[in-house]
Amino acid sequence: MTPQQGNVYVLSAPSGAGKSTLVRRLLEKLPDLIFSISFTTRPPREGEVNGEDYFFVDDATFDAMLAEDGLLEWVQVYKNRYGTGRAWIQEQRASGRDILLDIETVGAKNVKSALPEAILIFLLPPTAEELTRRLRGRGTETEEQLTVRLQHARHEMEQFPHYDYLVVNEDLEDAYRQLESIFVAERSRLTRMRPIADHILATF
Ligand code: ADP
Ligand code: 5GP
């Protein structure tokens, strides 16, 4: 018995909050959850794989996707554009799979407008100090980039009222448990369970 439609989850967080760490774990542990690979015009960074991290496309391809309404949402960040493919999401949802989108706050709002049933989750760091410590510890940013990241983090975090759930990543295990509970509970929603309930009722 497959539920009617998979759920669409959007997870946003300021850089360094622990999103990649938690997403990796969610995808390992929840078998029906799959990750939406975005399209981007940004060049790949070292180690990034086309079709795994992103679909790396040129401007003309991105324009063509826009022209045929092929993107559920998209944004421009500096010179680069990022977008979520529409057709793939529809196909996967139709087969009952849940989809996780890792996108920034403008895109998240646009997903909610297009799909009001989408579930928006915001991950917060416990404090600015701890976020700085984690970014420093990761060692991927220069001090200058760190300052820019922190200013941007504040701006992103102000968007939290548009989200359905907030999770503070202080203790990693606690944060993971909270996140997992959201995914599990959302699968029991009436709208999601209706076909199964109808099937059970039909046996009486
Ligand atoms: P993001 O994807 O949000 O940029 P990462 O998952 O790369 O963040 O995490 C940033 C750094 O913080 C990593 O070094 C990660 O191991 C560490 N980290 C993540 N969550 C916690 C936590 N709850 N406590 C301490 N360190 C954490
Ligand atoms: P990066 O270039 O570091 O991979 O990503 C930059 C930002 O773009 C991140 O905040 C990431 O979440 C966001 N992003 C990635 N893909 C998409 C997308 O398809 N749509 C939107 N709106 N944001 C995206």
Quote the pLDDT of residue 78. 80
Question: Averaged in consecutive runs of 10 residues, what is the pLDDT profile of the chain (204 residues)?
Answer: 81 94 96 95 94 96 98 94 97 94 97 96 97 89 88 94 98 98 94 91 97
> What CATH number is associated with residue 154?
3.40.50.300
pTM for the model: 0.94
Contact status, residue 102 vs residue 139, Cβ threshold 8 Å: no
| DSSP assignment letter at 45 | P
Strands (E), 55-95: 55-56, 71-77, 80-85
In a domain, 129, yes or no: yes
Give the C-alpha separation, 104 to 82, whole Å.
10
Range of the domain at 191: 8-36+97-202
In a domain, 43, yes or no: no
Domain total in the chain:
1
Q: How far is the CA of 82 from the centre of ligand 1 (A)?
A: 23
Quote the pLDDT of residue 14. 94
Ligand nearest 111 Cα, by number?
2
Residue nearest to atom 19 of ligand 1 (CA): 18
Ligand nearest 101 Cα, by number?
2
In a domain, 16, yes or no: yes
CA 162 to chain centre: 14
In a domain, 126, yes or no: yes
In a domain, 140, yes or no: yes
Is residue 16 within a helix (H) or strand (E), and if so which, with residue range? none
Q: And the tokens for 195?
A: 């076909």
